[in-house]
Structure 1
Amino acid sequence: MDHPRPELFDFHGVSMTHYFTDNWENVQNFKARPDDIVVATYPKAGTTWLCYILDLLYFRQTHPDRETTVPIYERVPFLEMTMPSYPLGTEMADTLTTSPRIIKTHLPVQFLPKSFWEQNCKIVYCARNAKDNAVSYFHFDRMEKLQPEPGDWSSFLQRFREGKMVFGSWFDHVCGWWEKKQTYSNIHYMFFEDMVEDTGREIKHLCSFLGLSTSEEEKEKIRGDVQFDVMKANPMTNLSEDGSLDFSVSQFLRKGKVGDWKNHFTVAQNEQFDELYKQKMKNTTLQFRTEI
């Protein structure tokens, strides 16, 4: 797929590209249903992982054929996405035949369509520590031709620090959703690092939040099937069919580790980042681990 890489622009105070704003009116007017489940993340924070876990929890028993025939991005539509020669995210969500609908978004909290709040929908938010998130986003932008030109690591990191990323500042995103959780009880706020540390435990917490009575045996089977190497080899989750991704540059599911930032940040970059981090996070109770 040959499309020029898009330019970033300021959209209501958040950096965006036209691929996520072209269908804005339909996104904002999207009609949520009370049983909809929203998967919300900053890009590259374990989104596909979480979508797959939820899809298996809800539909493995009733729709086993999906496992080998329907890629994850069709099972869990990306609400705000407008990709060339591909159905709009809102249309895909509207035409889902499975219920509940699991819908993915990278929107900052203030952009989520209001009907999700009005219907009191359950929202699962997953956050990843800033340093690993930046590294993962960098490698993704290198291979994803629908993203702005990433430049080299040093210039990319500078942009990340400034929040000049698609979907805006990491700091604003994770903190915005964290603050909302304090007043909206239907948000389950998860951490990528916890999922890596003990996937089984996090699946149990998810079941509890969602009110699912999944058997221990089934949870254990799902835990095995969502391990990184298994998903990386699974054509339904590794996005190998996505024409906008250049797999000669990087893998979509690259490492899935905690602490890979140490292979990218120089000592100086790390010190500067820590300084900025302290300042940006001083007014929140949100805490992250950069190693486990």
Structure 2
Amino acid sequence: MGIIGSYFPELFLKLPSGVILWAMFGNPVPPYILPDPYKMGEFPTWAREGDVVVAAAPKAGTTWMLYCSHQIRNRGRDYNFTDVNIETPWPDLIHRPGQTWHDIKRLMNTTILPDGTRLKDHWDNPSHPFRIFKSHYHPYRRNGKAYQVLPVREFPKVKFIGIVRNGLDVLASFCNFFYNHRPDFRKMWGGFPMAFKSNEECMNFLLPDGPLDYIFFGYAKDWWEVRDLPNVLLLHYSDMSKDLAGGVKKMAKFLEVDLKPDEFDRVVEKCSFKHMKAHADQFNYVLWSNDASLPSTAMCGTLHCPENPEGSVVYKGRSGRGKETFSKELIAKWEAAEQAEFDDPALMHWVKNGGSF
């Protein structure tokens, strides 16, 4: 087992719950997200001035912000938006065990899609004023954790959009999101992401010292530190929900896109959850490098899980759902963790409620 763990850890993922062994040998969790694209020597080999990285906290509106950024750059015009991972790709994501970032980088430039178009002509379309990429990583910190890799300070000509959401709402969406992955995708990754058996089991995953504690607590603290940088726009989910038009205006200003009134109205309409739910199959995260023997998408969508026809990454989108989902005991447990983790009262208030900072 030691030899496998040291030299061939991807073999663990062939076991039903092999992700546990994978993690025990110090490999990243999730197993399909790698920091390599953003390492200091690698980032300049593919990124360029003017690029936009939507680096949202998981389940805090990542796909929403990707799509809204796209609508702003496209001025709300009709456009054949094929899939979020084609038009606004996720460089950190590998599509199958054993794949590397260098494989993904090559394939981003050479892949021919089933419709005969080149993948590169979508995400690097010369008609777009800027390119958009997805990440869940945090700003770079010297000698930091594996997820603290985004060169936010080091590349001031690249724009970064972060978004934070109320923790209980993140948690409620997170539990549902894990369930909505395709079973064959889960099998390919050694049982990850698992379908939680209870709300408490799900909560423990994100609490401090849990396997994914950094995706909420660590994310909020790291992005709070860079909130005033000119190439950073830090948003709050509840603010975007309450005033979508105001949020679009703020994003457009940051992205330096001057929208005419009719363009602005189109963008706001297309950034709405109503519009995105009506086009839910554009957000299944197509795994464009996989052949027919492997899962073609990460999410169930409306096609791949007959028992779960509503399995979209675009879920309900409501603020306040967390308090409706969890018991009083679990809410108290979560709020105690927030109190312990967020020692800055301004950060604590903003994470829970949004508003100006």
TM-score range, shorter chain: 0.7 to 0.9
Is 1:229 equivalent to 2:274 in the alignment? yes
Give the structure 2 partner of residue 194 of structure 1.
239
Give the structure 1 partner of residue 92 of structure 2.
80
Q: Cα gap change, 1:285/1:238 in structure 2, threshold over 3 Å: closer, same or farther?
A: same
Residue aligned with 1:18, SS: coil
Give the structure 2 partner of residue 55 of structure 1.
70
Correspondence for 1:107 among 126, 137, 143? 137
Post-superposition offset of 1:105: 0.3
Post-superposition offset of 1:195: 0.9
CA distance in 2, matches of 1:243, 1:155: 26
CA distance in 2, matches of 1:121, 1:11: 35
After TM superposition, list the pairs within 5 Å mapping 1:139-158 onto structure 2. Answer: 139-144=176-181, 145=186, 147-151=192-196, 152-158=198-204
Give the structure 1 partner of residue 284 of structure 2.
239
Correspondence for 1:20 among 23, 26, 33? 33
Correspondence for 1:117 among 146, 154, 164? 154
Is 1:178 equivalent to 2:224 in the alignment? yes
Post-superposition offset of 1:16: 2.3
1:283 alignment partner AA: D
Is 1:266 equivalent to 2:327 in the alignment? yes
1:244 alignment partner AA: A
Give the structure 2 partner of residue 168 of structure 1.
214
Is the 1:258–1:291 Cα contact (8 Å) retained in structure 2? no
CA distance in 2, matches of 1:126, 1:91: 30
Is the 2:66–2:134 Cα contact (8 Å) retained in structure 1? yes
Structure 1 regions of 5+ residues with no counterpart? none
Correspondence for 2:312 among 232, 251, 268? 251
Residue aligned with 1:20, SS: coil
Please provide the CA RMSD for this pair.
3.2
Which of 163-172 and 71-80 deviates more? 163-172
Q: Cα gap change, 1:129/1:108 in structure 2, threshold over 3 Å: closer, same or farther?
A: same
1:256 alignment partner AA: G
Residue aligned with 2:48, SS: coil
CA distance in 2, matches of 1:275, 1:115: 31
TM-score normalised by L of structure 2: 0.70
CA distance in 2, matches of 1:143, 1:236: 13
Structure 2 regions of 5+ residues with no counterpart? 1-12, 110-119, 141-147, 287-295
**Structure (1 or 2) with the larger CA radius of gyration:** 2
Residue aligned with 2:282, SS: coil
Give the structure 2 partner of residue 129 of structure 1.
166
1:211 alignment partner AA: E
Q: Cα gap change, 1:167/1:186 in structure 2, threshold over 3 Å: closer, same or farther?
A: farther
CA distance in 1, matches of 2:169, 2:163: 14
What percentage of aligned pairs have identical amino acids? 19
2:336 alignment partner AA: E
CA distance in 1, matches of 2:215, 2:152: 24
